[in-house]
Amino acid sequence: MRAKLVLFIFQFLFISVAWSQVKFEAEVSRNSLGLNERLRVDFVMNQEGDNFKPPAFKNFTVVGGPYQSISNSYINGKRSFKKSYGYYLEPNSRGKLEIGQAEVLINGQTYKTSPVTITVSAAVDQPNQENTANKRASQGIHLVTRISNEQPYLNEGISVEYVLYISPSVNISNWRPIDNPKFADFWSQNIDIKRLEVKEGTYLGEPYRYVTLRKTVLYPQKTGELSIEPLTLSLSVDVLSDRRDFFGRRLYETIDQRVSAKTRTIKVKPLPTENRPANFNGAVGDFKFNVLVNKKSLQVGESLEAKVQVFGKGNLKLFQLPKLVTPSSLEVYEPEHIEEVRTTQNGMQGKIFDNYTLVPQTKGKYPIPALSFSYFDPQQRTYKTLTAQETLIEVEGGVGMTSQTSVTTNQNIGIQKNNITQSREPFRFLKLNPAFHEANANRFFRSLGYWLLFLTPLYILPLLVFLKKKRANSSLNAGEGNASKLVRKYLNEAHQHKKRPDSFYVHLERALYGFIRTKLKIANSDLNKEKVIQVLEQHKVEDKIIEQFITLLKNCEMARYTPLAQANVDHDFEEAKRIVTHLDKKL
């Protein structure tokens, strides 16, 4: 009897200890799903609790719940208790998403569930639906990807359209994108659709309404099979329910539905290697090519503009223009690259060009040699080469210039040959009646003229030193007439373009580099900001002046891409006058 009592007490204590262990856990219907699918999560406890707090569900959208259930039963004398709170969730993005911790108060103590990690992939072709309303909605809505060309060449443009088909049995009141496709292996640009137009059509032989939601132009950057990811949408759908009104008509039910297009694959063909021109640099499309100059006759020191231009339809933003080759006697500045390209559903169209500024240094006739441009035509499946003809530039000489003729061949560009100048009187005859004078008739030594010539420099020299100091102390702004001719030469042209900031900075950059090049005798090919800093430091120019000079050069470069106000132009011109004047004295 005593043994049975001890056994009963032991069993009672064991059951009490087991019952005292509180369990509060999160259970999910699945750990991985597609972006257009749903899952259910239940927060389950084995004892009665209060003040239940669900997690924030930051990475999900709650589409159902909370659903509360309680079960309490006794089996063979053992109590079984279960209480749960359930939710239906839709993921908001791809990746590894976390369901946070829920909280509940049991017997005065707070318990928390462990976080649960859910793996979300791209939208699947056949999502699992949780109820009949969603099934009816999914059967009446289809998102389709249209591709203009499924076998393009490398760098050949194609268009992709995402079209939503809607059955007459459902209506859509709102939509928003959940996951946009990432075109990792393409150059891409979306086409703006100003107004969505609903049209009538068919889908799989059935009457449907359809609307084009998005258009994108793609240029493949790799060969082989490339995937075009789907677009995933969240829709507010009005679908017929099983409920009926007083007159027996079926009522509509508004539900949140996700729809996704299928992943599509295209096969990108490589460009043919046979008959590929040596100067081909990746241009694909249908183009025209030319080289234009704004003048063919000018004076030494004047500038002309040369434009290397390609226009047409194709991958205009994805290749470089051929470089202009000029004679060495033409000073060439870094070209300004300009793109006037618009992208439509048919691809890129427009023109791109490089503007070169050329300045001849000596008189002569200088040819700009013929320039070629090659591209691949995907329609005719062949390479084409376009050639701009040679252009002859005639330069008239300035004061003190001798006549020169520029001799140019395909192998030698800019070799100059000076003409031999002959005197008008190559032979002089002997004078038959010379006028001789007595050697010591008039002695110049110690004469009045001798002393005047001897003493005059002694009086003039201090005067010249005084005038030079006075001129050096005056600024360029106080009187450009007293400034160095070298300073005036290079700043005058920039001053004439102050009303046009873009042109002003081009001429100001030319003035700054031209001043340094001429003053310090630096070769044009070696002229850059690093070289300027090095040479000015060697001449012991102050660091502050060097920094200000380089800042001006950077402002000129920035003005090519960012328009600057008139106030910047005035400030930079005054700074240029001050700095160049200082360097003119220092150097």
Once rounded to an integer, what is the mean pLDDT over residues 29-36? 87
Where does the pLDDT of residue 425 fall: very low under 50, low under 70, confident under 90, or very high at 90 and above?
very low
Give me the pLDDT at residue 489, please. Answer: 64
Strand partners, 307: 292, 355
Q: 281 and 319 in contact (C-beta within 8 Å)?
A: yes
Choose the weakest-confidence range: 48-57, 296-305, 547-556. 547-556
Once rounded to an integer, what is the mean pLDDT over residues 214-239? 91
**For residues 406-445, b (16+ Cβ closer than 10 Å) or e, as one string?**
bebeeeebbeeeeeeeeeeeeeeeeeeeeeeeeeeeeeee
Choose the weakest-confidence range: 50-64, 70-84, 135-149. 70-84
CATH match of 132-268 with 2.60.40:
yes
Give me the pLDDT at residue 480, please. Answer: 41
More confident: 307 or 419: 307
Give me the pLDDT at residue 411, please. Answer: 40
Give me the pLDDT at residue 484, please. Answer: 58
Q: What digits encode the pLDDT tens for the residues 314-327?
A: 999 999 999 999 88
Once rounded to an integer, what is the mean pLDDT over residues 525-539? 80
Q: 219 and 319 in contact (C-beta within 8 Å)?
A: no
The percent of residues above 70 in pLDDT, for the chain, comes to 78
Q: What is the DSSP string of 547-574?
A: HHHHHHHHHHHHTTTS---HHHHHHHHH
Second-level CATH architecture of 22-121: Sandwich (2.60)
The 3 state secondary structure assigned to 90-102 is EECCCEEEEECCC
Where does the pLDDT of residue 557 fall: very low under 50, low under 70, confident under 90, or very high at 90 and above?
confident
Classify the C-alpha dihedral 482-483-489-493 as positive or negative.
negative
pLDDT > 60? residue 416: no
Give me the pLDDT at residue 225, please. Answer: 94
pLDDT > 70? residue 344: yes
Where does the pLDDT of residue 235 fall: very low under 50, low under 70, confident under 90, or very high at 90 and above?
confident
Classify the C-alpha dihedral 210-211-214-217 as positive or negative.
positive
Give me the pLDDT at residue 9, please. Answer: 56
What residue spans in the chain does CATH classification 2.60.40.740 cover? 22-121
Where does the pLDDT of residue 123 fall: very low under 50, low under 70, confident under 90, or very high at 90 and above?
confident
Where does the pLDDT of residue 20 fall: very low under 50, low under 70, confident under 90, or very high at 90 and above?
low
Largest alpha-carbon pair distance within the chain? 173
Give me the pLDDT at residue 50, please. Answer: 85
Q: Which fold does the domain 285-418 belong to in CATH?
A: Immunoglobulin-like (2.60.40)
pLDDT > 50? residue 500: yes
Once rounded to an integer, what is the mean pLDDT over residues 468-473? 62
More confident: 35 or 240: 35
Strand partners, 89: 39, 62
More confident: 510 or 202: 202
Give me the pLDDT at residue 469, please. Answer: 67
Where does the pLDDT of residue 402 fall: very low under 50, low under 70, confident under 90, or very high at 90 and above?
very low
* Separation between Cα atoms, residue 586 and residue 519, nearest integer Å: 11
More confident: 514 or 96: 96
Once rounded to an integer, what is the mean pLDDT over residues 340-358? 93
* Phi, psi dihedral angles at 175 (to 5 degrees): -150, 155
pLDDT > 60? residue 439: no
Measured in whole angstroms, the distance separating CA 11 from the mean position of its chain's CA atoms is 76
Once rounded to an integer, what is the mean pLDDT over residues 474-485? 45
Choose the weakest-confidence range: 108-117, 132-141, 271-280, 510-519. 132-141
More confident: 469 or 211: 211
Once rounded to an integer, what is the mean pLDDT over residues 348-376? 93
Tokens representing 270 are 């490589």
More confident: 171 or 4: 171
Give me the pLDDT at residue 481, please. Answer: 40
Give me the pLDDT at residue 15, please. Answer: 47
The percent of residues above 90 in pLDDT, for the chain, comes to 32
Classify the C-alpha dihedral 396-397-403-407 as positive or negative.
negative
Give me the pLDDT at residue 408, please. Answer: 41
Once rounded to an integer, what is the mean pLDDT over residues 245-256? 72
Mean pLDDT estimate for the chain: 80
* Separation between Cα atoms, residue 495 and residue 70, nearest integer Å: 87
